Amino acid sequence: MPAADRRDGRSKPPQPTGSASPSPSGPAVSVGVRLLDAPVNRRDDSRAHKYIVDHVKPGTTIKRRIVVKNSSEVQRKVALYAAAATVTKKGFVIAPDRTENELSSWIRVEPDEEALAAGEEVEALVTIRVPRAAEAGERYAVVWAEISGTDGQQIRNVGRAGIRVYLSVGPGGEPPSGFQIGPLTGLREPDGTPVVTADVRNTGKRALDLAGELRLADGPGGLSTDPVRVEAATLPLNGSTTVRIALDSRLPDGPWSAKLDLASGWTKRSASGRVSFGGATVPAAASADRSSGVLAGGLVASGLVLALLFGFAYRRRSQQREPVPQG
């Protein structure tokens, strides 16, 4: 049964990642893939080092090299191909199996199949040929590396890993990318977790992969936190999302000076303002930011600074409990 005809109902289509998950039983079914090339004019675009991101005119052919690795414990046959994807309000959405769209039909991967020993790598060439009659617009796909194996019951387990493709087609220069960050607000959830939120809107002509960091400073007693690493789902054209950053539950209510830096490749913005996790907030000011360093992930406040704060509060309570001399 070919990989495209999986019908055992055991797995859902995975999101494009650097490596696939192992199979639940039998020898591991695992594969990794990474991009080797980025256009010279995109050396400073962090997205172009992870994904195939470009803007070209109709009739253009572009090529990218990728490296595929069999991370399984045994020899596996790796299939290389392109399949459909789209960007919606849910983010970057991949199509099941080998579903084709316009962009994936323009993509060829050579070789399209390779037998790799355990731990072996192979370099492959991705070629995208844009027809001369192609209409303007941004299109999405995924270049997949897929391997399969069978467990003791002859059930096929399939693992795949992919590289996203964001291809803008049209005459002239690249369409502008841009976004706006709304006011920062603070709240404390019922379980005590403080959260900073901000609405973000895509104001440009290309999809965005937003990531960045939040900083809190000038809190009670001069407290500050370590940078908070954040990441948002892919934002479609004219789309909007609410970025939510959960913080350490030990953080005092504030107020705090908050600064949120977000970027998608070389398009960067920032917003700042005063936030509290139990009271009113002051609207943030949004501004362009050309600083470097795009980050992604979760956060921890500075334990040492918090310990000092709690130690101060404890000493203060101890002093208040001392008996008052009687006259």
Is 131 in contact with 58 (CB distance < 8 Å)? yes
- For residues 281 and 78, the model is more confident at 78
Higher pLDDT, 307 or 66: 66
Is residue 165 domain-shared with residue 255, that is, in the same domain? Answer: no
pLDDT at 311 over 50: no
* Mean pLDDT of the 297-305 span: 34
**CATH number where 139 lies:** 2.60.40.10
Q: Which CATH number characterizes residue 277's domain? A: 2.60.40
**Per-residue tokens: 223:** 């407290």
Assess if residue 327 is contained within a domain: no
Question: What was the pLDDT predicted at 76?
Answer: 87
Domain count of the fold of the chain: 2
- Picking from 111, 140, 169, the residue at the C-terminal end of a domain is 169
Q: Are residues 38 and 103 in the same domain?
A: yes
- Say if 155 falls within a structural domain: yes
Average pLDDT, the chain: 79
Strand partners, 94: 85
State which of 121, 139, 169 marks the end of a domain: 169
Burial of 61 (0-12, 13-18, 19+ CB in 10 A): exposed
Burial of 98-108, coded b for 16+ CB within 10 Å and e otherwise, reads beebebbebbe
Domain holding 96, by residue range, is 3-169
Q: Say yes or no: 183 and 257 in one domain.
A: yes
If asked whether residues 37 and 123 sit together in one domain, one would say yes
Q: Is residue 114 situated within a structural domain?
A: yes
The answer to whether 77 and 115 have CB atoms below 8 angstroms apart is: yes
Most confident range, picked from 43-57, 154-168, 199-213: 199-213
Q: What average pLDDT does the segment 31-46 reach? A: 85
Q: Is residue 320 situated within a structural domain?
A: no
Same domain, 254 and 306: yes
Q: How many residues does the chain have?
A: 327
In this structure, are 36 and 105 located in the same domain? yes
Is the domain of 295 the same as that of 263? yes
Q: Is 258 helix (H, G, I), strand (E, B) or coil?
A: strand
Task: Kindly state the DSSP code that residue 3 receives in the 8-state scheme.
Answer: G
- Average pLDDT in the 165-182 region? 94
Specify the range with the lowest mean pLDDT, choosing from 181-185, 218-222, 276-280: 276-280
Let me know whether 14 and 81 are in one domain: yes
Q: Residue 252 has what pLDDT?
A: 94
Please check whether residues 11 and 38 belong to one and the same domain: yes
- Sign, CA dihedral 120-70-297-192, equals negative
Within a domain: residue 324?
no
In-domain check, residue 319: no
Please tell me whether residues 143 and 266 are part of one structural domain.
Answer: no
Given pLDDT bands bounded at 50, 70 and 90, which one contains residue 170? very high
Q: Same domain, yes or no, for 23 and 108? A: yes
Are residues 138 and 196 located together in one domain of the fold?
A: no
Sorted by sequence, the CB contacts under 8 Å of residue 138 that are 6+ apart come out as: 166, 167, 168, 169, 175, 205, 206, 207, 237
Q: What pLDDT is recorded for position 92?
A: 96
- Predicted confidence (pLDDT) at residue 291 exceeds the cutoff of 70: no
Q: DSSP letter string over 204-236?
A: SSS-B--EEEEEEES-GGG---PPEEEE---B-
Residue 8 corresponds to which tokens in the numbers above?
A: 């055992």
User: Does residue 321 lie within any of the structural domains?
Assistant: no
Question: What is the predicted pLDDT for the residue at 149?
Answer: 62
* Residue after which a domain boundary falls, among 137, 169, 201: 169
- pLDDT band at residue 18, thresholds of 50, 70 and 90? low
Judge whether 136 lies within some domain.
yes
